[in-house]
């Protein structure tokens, strides 16, 4: 008798929808976990199949600019900026005595 009363008062549509949403959420989580496991397996197989000399050559050919020596250059020192100094009246004599 109690079961019948509870079923009559429940919103069956709400709980059916909640059940579907929960099922989709669980399925998505399982799909994500399976995808991650596949990726880990692929990475592990790739690492196992690495041939060091061949891959090193491939890497160097793809990124050749990173492994080239720089072009020689000639150092040219900076000779300072051209500065023009002007003094007001009376400050020139004071500046000369300080130098």
pLDDT tens profile 2-26: 565 566 666 777 788 888 999 999 9
Structure token pair of residue 53: 């000399």
**H or E element in which residue 5 lies:** helix 2-9
User: Is this model's pTM higher than 0.75 or not?
Assistant: no
- Over residues 39-90, the pLDDT tens digits come to 999 888 877 777 677 777 787 788 777 777 778 878 777 777 776 666 666 6
* 68 secondary structure, DSSP code: S
pLDDT score, position 88: 66
């Amino acid at each position: 008798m109690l079961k019948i009363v509870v079923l009559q008062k429940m919103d069956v549509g709400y709980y059916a929808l909640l059940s579907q949403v929960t099922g989709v959420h669980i399925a998505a989580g399982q799909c994500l976990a399976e995808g991650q496991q596949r990726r880990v397996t692929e990475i592990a197989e790739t690492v196992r199949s690495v041939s060091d000399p061949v891959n090193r050559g491939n890497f160097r050919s793809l990124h050749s600019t990173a492994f080239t020596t720089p072009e020689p250059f000639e150092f040219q020192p900076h000779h300072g900026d051209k500065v023009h100094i002007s003094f007001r009246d009376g400050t020139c004599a004071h500046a000369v005595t300080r130098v």
